[in-house]
Amino acid sequence: MNITLRQLRVFSAVARHLSFTRAAEELCLTQPAVSMQVKQLENQLDVPLFEHLGKKIFLTEMGKEVYHYSRSILQQIDELQGVLNSMKGLGKGRLKISVASTANYFIPVLLAGFCQRYPGVTVSLDVTNRETLLTQLADNEVDLVVMGQPPEDMDLGYEAFLENPLVIVAPPEHLLAKEKKIPLQRLEQEVFLVREPGSGTRIAMERFFAQHDVRITTGMEVGSNEAIKQSVQAGLGLGLLSRDTVEMELALGRLVILNVAEFPIMRYWYVVNRHGKRLSVVAQAFKDYLIKESPLLLGKGEQRLPGRVEKKSRSSA
């Protein structure tokens, strides 16, 4: 076989997305260029890697095997590059991180400071949902993940670096906008707009109200924080959101935080990696930067944070 790393990278992107178009966007290539690389790999291996059913593509059984080995090969190449960069120092290197969509309200500010400090570092940033973050961690596709509460059933190391209070927001003209110490049971008369199932914010909300025996009414299911904010402003219901996501709307007077008993719900932002993963010098530097400097850089003041956790799942213990 005379296959190339380029062919494997292109094939892996197509296999991950099950889309030539999305793979092309990720790799900054044209779709014909992606198709050509995959075709060349199929010719080298003399096996079909994908099958087309209607407008969708699926991995063949042989394609699944090639994808398994290609991921392992590419991860080892990336690790080798990280080791070499470590030996060279922080002058150059690559950082590959993924963050929860809510974290994108503050992560760009932190990345800007980090990149100014280390201008030779190349950063790859993916902003996505919790489900994809967990898949990326399981497949060891990224150096670090920034997310809310990490799951308990995965082999992970994580450390909190920033408080993430969840608050209830309403339009300024809402009947409860000027009330103090609103009882939790009063919220049973309101309608809440919620994120999709599996969202970290929704999980925290449902757990909190269940613990306090409060039954809330949910209205629309909304796929983004921005859509929830717009819907709350339009008077379609209340929203439970990270305070980080509503700072602009609060400053402009478009939303208010309701003064509800037992609120805010205090959660935390965590920097997460696979348990036992060998971080490159760049990834370790960014991790330390988040933990030691992010509260000061974001003007958050003193934070009361839980400590670091190395969590091994029962299945691997």
More confident residue, 39 or 200: 39
| Residue 308 confidence (pLDDT) | 64
Asked whether residue 307 carries a pLDDT value surpassing 80, the answer given is no
- Written as six digits, the tokens of 177 are 């906008």
Task: Establish whether domains 5-72 and 163-267 are of one fold.
Answer: no
* Phi and psi angles of residue 39, each rounded to the nearest 5 degrees, phi first: -65, -40
The pLDDT value recorded for residue 85 is: 65
The proportion of the chain whose per-residue pLDDT surpasses 70, expressed as a percent, equals: 94
Three-class HEC string of 2-30: CCCHHHHHHHHHHHHHCCHHHHHHHHCCC
When the pLDDT of each residue in the chain is averaged and rounded to a whole number, the result is: 89
pLDDT tens-digit map of 129-164: 888 999 999 888 899 999 998 988 898 999 999 999
Give the C-alpha distances (Å, rounded to integers) separating 10 from 109, 142, 160. 31, 17, 35
Question: Which pTM was predicted?
Answer: 0.69
pLDDT confidence of residue 114: 93
In the prediction, which pLDDT does 311 show? 62
User: What pLDDT, on the 0 to 100 scale, is given for residue 315?
Assistant: 42
Could you tell me if 233 and 255 are in contact, meaning their C-beta atoms sit under 8 angstroms apart?
yes
* Two tokens, residue 39: 């075709």
pLDDT at 316: 42
Per the CB < 8 A criterion, the answer to whether 110 and 156 are in contact is no
Distance CA 156, CA 100 (A): 16
**Res 305: pLDDT:** 85
Please enumerate in sequence order all residues whose Cβ is within 8 A of that of 235, keeping only pairs 6 or more positions apart, or say none. Answer: 171
Q: 5-72 belongs to which CATH class?
A: mainly alpha
| Domain limits, the chain | 5-72, 86-161+268-316, 163-267
In words, the CATH class of domain 86-161+268-316 is alpha beta
CATH superfamily, region 163-267: Periplasmic binding protein-like II (3.40.190.10)
Partner residues linked to 156 by β-bridges? 274, 311
pLDDT value, residue 314: 45
Q: What is the pLDDT of residues 20-51, one digit of tens each?
A: 999 999 888 899 999 999 999 999 999 999 99
pLDDT at residue 317, rounded to an integer:
37
264: preceding bond cis by omega (within 30 degrees): yes
pLDDT tens digits, one per residue of 68-101: 999 989 888 887 877 776 656 666 788 999 999 8
pLDDT tens, position by position, 204-263: 899 999 999 999 999 888 888 999 999 999 999 999 999 999 999 999 999 999 999 999
